[in-house]
Amino acid sequence: MVSASVISSNFSCNDLSTKCHAAQGRKFLVVQKGMGGHQVLNFESRNEGMVGIGFNLGGAIRYKVLQDYNLMIKQAGQGQVYISYYRNCSGVIEYPDNESVSWVGVYIPVDMFQTLLDIPMYDFGFLEESVKVSTFFFECLGHITTGMKIALHQILMCPFTDKTKCLYLESKLLELISYVQYCADGSSDLAQHVASMSLTSNDREKMSQAKEILDENLENPPSIVALARALGVNEFKLKNGFRQVHGITPYKYLAEQRLERACRLLWERRMNVTEAAFSVGYSSLSHFAKIFRAKFGVNPNEYLAQSGGHVEAKVSGERS
């Protein structure tokens, strides 16, 4: 759980070692292994905020984070994968007494997180709001899957050195990200099993309400946590119940509706590309152009031109 500003060197404490491997494009792979005890690792996060995906194969690890004079305590349990974000804060990491430490973390910038995983931050609870106000975020995503475990053990037992090692570890870093995407997409065996759970008539009504709330808030949608709370269900039931009722995940439904509305705005010549993108919640014009082209097979500028519109529609940058 350390940002790029503080993981540029190796750290060792008694029988515990931490090694950081920098990959291309501001990606980092951090590996901790050894024996726990009474070790405490101090850290400080500054500069660019990083999204971290942690995989804990060893004993429980406790994080004590201090930000704006507020102390927050979180724990990564054995066999769990979790997501974290923190910026401009400091704290300590406490390791289990007389237990093995086997932990791997992937750290990528916020914009890369959205691009690589193709999942908006609001699909992970309070993460989007945390990034906006530079606050600490930590949430367990579930258990480490078999595929993840194989890749993690290959990282821990990496037989290569020098440039070959760098290429190997970067490939494993991307492999771990793909597994997280796979599970978040609901494609894993576990997700499919959960998706088949029975829903009561009341549950189905709440899934319909969830759809209505998303339709009414395309520009500024609630987080999964906030939406579940408003409906009186847990996040697990919301994500899987929504898929069962509507045949699509909440995130994918929201993404589809955003693009459909932007498409209508362009076709009706009511807005240019920049205005249409911002009106449905996309602050990155390059990302909007990319996913628009992927869905409709044409760039938004070209689509606007085909509609016969004369609204200025240059996609040249991002909202500052």
Q: Label each residue of 124-180 as H, E or C.
A: HCCHHHHHHHCCCEEEEEEECCHHHHHHHHHHHCCCCCHHHHHHHHHHHHHHHHHHH
Q: CATH 2.60.120.10: does it fit domain 11-184?
A: yes
Higher pLDDT residue, 98 or 209?
A: 209
The tens digit of pLDDT for each residue in 52-88 reads 899 999 888 888 887 777 788 888 888 988 888 777 7
- pLDDT band at residue 240 under the 50/70/90 scheme: confident
Q: What is the pLDDT of residue 287?
A: 85
- pLDDT band at residue 24 under the 50/70/90 scheme: confident
Cβ–Cβ < 8 Å for 142, 150: no
- pLDDT band at residue 212 under the 50/70/90 scheme: very high
Q: What is the pLDDT of residue 293?
A: 87
**CA pair distance 145, 289, nearest whole angstrom:** 34
Task: Express as a percent the part of the chain with pLDDT over 70.
Answer: 74
Residue 198 makes CB contacts below 8 A (sequence gap 6+) with none
Q: What is the pLDDT of residue 5?
A: 37
**Average of pLDDT values for 166-191?**
76
Indicate if the pLDDT at residue 229 is higher than 80.
yes
Indicate if the pLDDT at residue 169 is higher than 80.
yes
**Average of pLDDT values for 201-213?**
91
Indicate if the pLDDT at residue 192 is higher than 60.
no
Domain positions in the chain are 11-184, 190-248, 262-306
Q: What is the pLDDT of residue 213?
A: 94
